[in-house]
Chains A and B, each alone.
Chain A
Amino acid sequence: MVAVTQVSVSPRGKGSASAALKGWEADLLTVGELRVRLFGEWVLASGARSSTELSRRLSETPSPTKISFDSRELGAWDNVLINFLNKLEAVAAERAIAVDRSGLPGGVQRLVGLARAVPERQGARRTQQQPDLLTRVGQSSLGFFETTADFVAFLGEAIIGIGRMLVGRARLRRSDLMLAIEDCGPSALPIVALISFLIGLILAFVGAIQLQQFGAAIFVANLVGVAMVREMGAMMTAILMSGRTGAAFAANLGTMQVSDEVSALQTLGIPPMEFLVVPRIVALSLMMPLLTVFANIVGILGGLLIAWLMLDIAPITYYNQTSGAVGMNDWAVGLVKAVLFGAVVAIVGCWRGMRCQRSAAAVGTAATSAVVVCIVLIIVIDATATVICTTLKI
């Protein structure tokens, strides 16, 4: 006849101060029941409580067959307590130890029940493995080819769409086209003016210092004129427009994907390619050469100002020198590039937008990648064009 005797009260080597901090004490009763006494505050503000020590008690010999609780001294509680009990029960379940929740407050009983009610869905949890270097290189190379193929497909669809528009069979609204034209043309004038004026100014400054050494200051006009018209005008405008309009296209179409606006067009039988993408491509391809002409003129004016103020070259002399230096072929090269850049910026912007995933973060990614791809393509195309023109002596 053995009465209920308490085997151990406090965990090894720890005083009552740590017990108060811990918030529980466990007594193993001889009937194999582990009684856990909970006391004090169990709230977020006082920190989390680890259940590892108590879980370890479950594996000690003699192993308990049942856990019960005494919560008479329990103060305020919140998820901290639920978490503690939830983990304890998980360990207990593994060892087939019964848990008697009746000693807990009603709310705690129910919440623990709720947390354990819905079993984890099989296969829901993901095992993430970091692929090795070779796998990653392979994956990103394959990804690059896939992306390129997707871009070419998009380009093809866009060209078909433009073709349909030219024969008047595309489904698009005239007002949308006008709005797009306004957005990527006149609205961009101030910023294009500022940037190209400063570019002309910088070119003139750099040229002036070098050319003055040879007494050939007047050739600043040639330098600025040819550089602006052939290269810088088109390129700077394109880079500016990829940041301004390309990113806007991507963000705009991306958000339309997120909010199902694109799907709404599709279900109505309106091809988004014709309705959304074609007007933007047409607008920017039309406006880019005009913006470039404007940029060239403003840039030359910037050079003129420096030549006039720094080198004492009369504006009329500068003008004559410029018109002698810049020929029709220079203008042609610049403008052809401008049309090309306009199309590239619009197509890439729309492509990234239309391929946007359905979340806010994805819209940001789409806009970023639109700008990056645009600028890379612009520089690559410009370099290629320069090499070709030099070889062909255009």
Chain B
Amino acid sequence: MAYGDFVIQRDLNFTISKGDIFIIMGGSGCGKSTLLRHLVGLQVPARGRVLFSGESLWDAEQERRDAILRKTGVTYQAGGLWSSMTLAENVALPLEQYTDLSPAEIADLASLNLALVGLAGFEDYFPSQISGGMQKRAGLARAMALSPEVLLFDEPSAGLDPISSRLLDDLILELRDSLGATIVMVTHELASIFAVGDNSVFLDPETKTQIASGAPKQLLAECPDPKVQRFLRRGVVVAAGKTPANQGVLA
């Protein structure tokens, strides 16, 4: 991954299993969001491939690529809601574009999606009229509109109070369990990482590559890398070697 000649991250190699909640973590500026942008087709990797079920995103034709990307739903850091549309219209737009449903059915489904994220009755509000937490949830409702197989979140709980953040985590878990969707999350909220993460990759801005991967709880217990330990323990350095379970080798 690079912006021009400026390399952000190199030699990234990880697999996200179906139904997992996969965390992309790392310090600020390490390229987490950039990695997410590569995954959802907003940026072309300088080298390498992004595979969806074995199919390469960037080697595919434009039409095929759009079809692959339609199976994903994304929420953005700042919400990314279209400010000139009401919440219902925001959620309805993907349905209008990609299904043959009637306007009444679309309105129904939009209301349902908003109800699922706890925003029943807010259909006619504009994004600027609701709080930040509600905007995040509305963004999630829009991402879910087409019942995607993969949901990607860019810092879903950033800027939320601990309770809202916890509720959002619960919601994400619930959606994974009930819809069977795969979740990819960029975050550095430790509480979220340990609460929901099944698997993860840790990006390091200095070496410009991934320095650890695996289940977050396991990383906390076993990863020997001091940088990872510092991150997962909020800067409190514990000699990783002293934890008894530190025999396993992590990829």
Contacts and interface: CB of A to CB of B under 8 A. Distances in A.
A124 B122 contact: yes
Most chain A beta-carbon contacts within 10 A, residue among B128, B171, B177? B128
Contacts of B116: 82, 111, 114-115
Interface in A107-147: 107-108, 110-111, 114-121, 124-126, 128
Contacts of A380: none
Interface stretch (A193-201, A211-219, A352-360): A352-360
A361 interface: yes
B73 to A, nearest CB: 12
B80 to A, nearest CB: 11
Given A48-B105, A108-B178, A111-B179, A361 B84 contact: yes
B177 A110 contact: yes
Contacts of B66: none
Nearest to A116: B115
Given A48-B108, A121-B121, A359 B128 contact: yes
B101 A48 contact: yes
B101 A115 contact: no
A43 B98 CA distance: 13
Interface string B166-183: 000001001001111000
A45 to B, nearest CB: 7
A362 B127 CA distance: 12
A119 B119 CA distance: 9
A110 B147 contact: no
B121 A115 contact: no
A23 to B, nearest CB: 14
B112 interface: yes
A48 B99 CA distance: 10
Classify the secondary structure of B's interface with A.
loop
B84 A360 contact: yes
Contact of B179 (A47, A107, A124): A107
Contacts of A101: none
Contacts of B145: 79
Given A124-B121, A359-B128, A83 B109 contact: yes
Interface string B85-121: 0000000000100011110010011001101101111
B126 interface: yes
Interface string A203-231: 00000000000000000000000000000
Interface in A80-121: 80, 82-83, 86-87, 106-108, 110-111, 114-121
Contacts of B84: 359-361
Nearest to B102: A48
Given A107-B180, A360-B84, A115 B115 contact: yes
B208 to A, nearest CB: 30
Nearest to B114: A115
A80 B109 CA distance: 7
A87 B178 contact: no
Contact of A43 (B82, B119, B147, B171): B147
Contacts of B121: 120-121, 124-125
B146 interface: yes
Given A78-B179, A119-B120, A87 B108 contact: yes
B206 interface: no
A44 B120 contact: no
Contacts of A106: 177-178
Interface string A316-336: 000000000000000000000
Contacts of A107: 177-180
Nearest to B83: A359
Nearest to B106: A48
Contacts of A80: 109
B178 A47 contact: no
B124 interface: yes
Interface string A356-388: 011111100000000000000000000000000
Given A125-B124, A359-B83, A362-B83, A44 B99 contact: yes
27 contacts: A43-B147, A44-B146, A45-B99, A79-B112, A79-B144, A79-B147, A82-B116, A83-B108, A83-B112, A86-B115, A106-B177, A106-B178, A107-B180, A110-B177, A111-B116, A111-B178, A111-B179, A114-B116, A114-B178, A115-B112, A117-B118, A124-B120, A124-B122, A125-B123, A359-B127, A360-B82, A360-B84
Given A119-B120, A359-B128, 19 more contacts: A44-B101, A44-B109, A48-B105, A48-B108, A78-B179, A79-B112, A87-B108, A106-B177, A111-B178, A111-B179, A114-B116, A115-B115, A116-B115, A121-B121, A126-B125, A359-B127, A360-B82, A360-B83, A361-B84
